[in-house]
Amino acid sequence: MRGLMQDWPLLVHKILDHAATYFGDRQIVTRAVEPDGGIRRTTYADIHRRARKLASAFQSFGVRLGDRVATLAWNTERHLEAWYGIAGVGAVYHTLNPRLFPEQIVYIANHAEDRIIMTDLTFVPLLEKIQDHLKSVEAIIILTDRAHMPQTSLRNVICYEEFVAAGSDSFEWASFDENTACGLCYTSGTTGNPKGVLYSHRSNVLHSLAANQSDALGVSNGDVILPVVPMFHANAWSLAFSAPMAGAALVMPGARLDGPSIYELLENERVTMTAAVPTVWLALLNHLEGNNLKLSTLKRVAIGGSACPPSMIEKFEKNYGVDVSHAWGMTELSPVGTVGTLKAEQKALPFDERLRIKSKQGRPMFTVEMKILDDAGKELPRDGKAFGHLVVRGPAIASGYFKGDGGQVLDGEGFFDTGDVSTIDAQGFMQITDRAKDVIKSGGEWISSIDIENLAVGHPAVANAAVIGVHHPKWDERPLLIVQKKPGHEVSREEMLAFLDGKIAKWWMPDDVAFIDNIPLTATGKIQKVELRNIFKDYRLPTAGAAAAAGGAS
Ligand code: ADP
């Protein structure tokens, strides 16, 4: 027997309808991308009105169900309008990551067959260089007003404000099946070409409902949220949907993501919650410490994308009274998978014990199923010790990549292999030990590079640290610690090793420490291990000669 409930399609523009009806006056604040732009203020009511006009303008342009419209843009109110305007006409918003190499952007835009690119002024020079290689793009909409339109060699350029103004005020959102494609975001593709993850309206709505659970991102109408995480990275961790769904105000940081600019917005706009990758928070904490500043309104910070070191959680919580939610996810998961909110019984534990738990990547929010498997595909125990391949299943998790790239990605039970290696403890907290391809295999055992990196960045002279496996004649691989020092700080190899001594198992101790001016980061702020392995491919560990000699003698 079927239930007798209404068939109300889960469409993302209904989120904006809700925000405009019940929280129409909530502010959306933007740091303008235009150099003289200052701060712009608008509301959900206005965004709702303009997004519908935009959708109507797209309709007049000839944009149809399933067409891809790309955005190459910072977090601004116009970018938010663009997402809703595109999705509201049944087209697919496709976020292009400007931090990728131009050739990658060309590859992705052609693969997606984007018909239109909406861009900020910042990226006009980039588009001028690549326009001749873009095969499907018919028009470029510049996200600004007439007064700021640039001199450009770009062809078929449209001014955003004029495009919106030409739209109709009486446009009604399109209605269609909730499984219709809504958004497209390519994974960075550290190996091989980037692959497209294609969200549906249904998956975006379900994911935002899940992310809004109070033990997950817990967004509410009293919040003022600063998404530092770009909309071009992994669906902005759902905040462009979760915030309007809950009626939270938004502060959009535009192009300036440095410590002082973020601090200024946090304080001036009375932000209560923010989210970004650890490198952003390193910069903010440096700014706070260097200038003896406090955070007066911020209550929570979500940190994910790479492992959040315990020293960062400790600083936020002890020095600034800000609660840290360490989260894990990936583009293929829409993207939030786990959040490290403590269970009720854990809240009374001593600080160090809570810190240990919060340093893990957290518990799956409802809608995410997960387990860990050994190499043979057998499930491993949830004891916090056994580690294996992390696989996941749920309604906002990719079932395959756009156009079938990468082939079949689900196992016989419908689980997706995340490519991460992790433990799960008896309380359900998952801890990433590595990406499968970064694991260091020493004498048949695995060493977690993330654990060592987390400790190393706790040293006051260290700006960033990476651990990679380097060939060793006896052990196969041994860990090499690579350190980027903070400007004006000094630390020696011996001091670094002494700092780690006693904090990790003896056989995990790096065999050597190398210093480097800049640890290379990916377009999404992760350490580029492939590049580091390349730089250090001929590195000879001091222990290698001794081992080879000993091996020869025995
Ligand atoms: P990209 O690969 O394009 O940078 P993703 O954001 O999808 O984009 O990357 C997802 C990967 O990032 C995960 O598979 C995991 O390896 C890593 N990651 C995300 N969050 C964390 C975290 N909190 N701790 C450790 N690794 C993380």
Q: Residue 553 — very low, low, confident or very high, per pLDDT cuts 50/70/90?
A: very low
The model's confidence at residue 189, banded by pLDDT at 50, 70 and 90, is: low
Helix (H, G, I), strand (E, B) or coil at 73: coil
435 lines ligand 1 (CB under 6 A): yes
Going by pLDDT thresholds of 50, 70 and 90, the confidence category of residue 224 is: very high
What CATH number does the domain located at 438-553 have? 3.30.300.30
Is residue 472 in contact with ligand 1, taking CB distance under 6 Å?
no
pLDDT of residue 547: 55
51 vs 81: CA distance, rounded Å: 5
* C-alpha distance from residue 541 to each of 45, 64, 100, 189 (Å): 62, 59, 33, 30
Q: What is the pLDDT of residue 214?
A: 95
Atom of ligand 1 nearest to the CA of 188: 3
**How buried is residue 346: exposed, middle or buried, by Cβ count under 10 Å (0-12/13-18/19+)?**
middle
CA 209 to CA 212: how far, in whole Å?
5
Q: What is the pLDDT of residue 546?
A: 61
pLDDT exceeds cutoff 80 at 549: no
Kindly state if the Cβ of 432 falls inside 6 Å of ligand 1. Answer: yes
- Cα–ligand 1 centroid distance for 435 (angstroms): 9
Atom 4 of ligand 1, nearest CA residue: 524
- Does the domain spanning 13-424 belong to CATH 3.40.50.12780? yes
pLDDT (mean) for 178-187: 97
Mean pLDDT for 201-213 is: 98
Instruction: Answer yes or no: is pLDDT of 367 > 50.
Output: yes
pLDDT at 299: 98
Q: Over the chain, what is the mean pLDDT?
A: 94
Q: How many residues make up the chain in this entry?
A: 554
**Residue 50 CA to its chain's centroid (Å):** 27
Query: How many Cβ atoms sit within 10 Å of the Cβ of residue 207?
Result: 28
Active-site position among 81, 178, 269, 332:
332
306 lines ligand 1 (CB under 6 A): yes
Residue 441 a catalytic site member: yes
What is the per-residue pLDDT for 320? 98
Residues 165-193 have a mean pLDDT of 90
The phi, psi pair for 97, rounded to 5°, reads -90, 110
Q: How many Å apart are CA 285 and CA 234, to the nearest integer?
A: 24
| Catalytically annotated residue among 441, 445, 495, 507 | 441
Segment 71-82 shows an average pLDDT of 98
User: Domain coordinates of the chain in residue numbers?
Assistant: 13-424, 438-553
pLDDT digits (tens, 9 = 90+) for 316-361: 999 999 999 999 999 999 999 999 999 999 999 999 999 999 999 9
DSSP annotation of 537 reads: T
pTM: 0.92
- Local confidence band at 191 (pLDDT 50, 70, 90 cut-offs): low
- Model confidence pLDDT, tens digit, residues 370-407: 999 999 999 999 999 999 999 999 999 999 999 999 89
Over 60: is that where the pLDDT of 548 sits? Answer: no
Q: From the CA of 317, how far away is ligand 1's center (Å)?
A: 23
CA of 306 to the centre of ligand 1 (A): 6
Q: What's the DSSP call for residue 236?
A: G
Residue 288 has which token pair?
A: 């706070």
Asked if residues 336 and 211 have their Cβ atoms less than 8 Å apart, the reply is yes
Give the model's pLDDT for residue 522: 85
Q: What sign does the CA torsion over 197, 203, 207, 210 have? A: negative
**Radius of gyration (Cα) for the chain, nearest Å?**
24
Q: State the pLDDT confidence band at 446, using cuts at 50, 70 and 90.
A: confident
Mean pLDDT of 500-527: 92
DSSP code string of 313-339: HHIIIIIH--EEEEEEE-GGGSSEEEE
Segment 246-303, tens digit of pLDDT: 999 999 999 999 999 999 999 999 999 999 999 999 999 999 999 999 999 999 999 9
Is there a contact between 266 and 226 (Cβ–Cβ < 8 Å)? yes
- List the single range of 62-66, 284-288, 528-532 with lowest mean pLDDT: 528-532
- Indicate the helix (H) or strand (E) that contains 472: strand 462-472
Distance 305 CA to ligand 1 centre (A): 4
Pair 364, 340: CB distance under 8 Å? no
State if residue 458 touches ligand 1 by the CB under 6 angstroms criterion. no
Lookup: tokens for 512? 């050597």
Q: What is the mean pLDDT of residues 110-120?
A: 98
Is residue 329 within 8 A of residue 335, CB to CB? The reply is: yes
Q: What is the pLDDT of residue 171?
A: 96
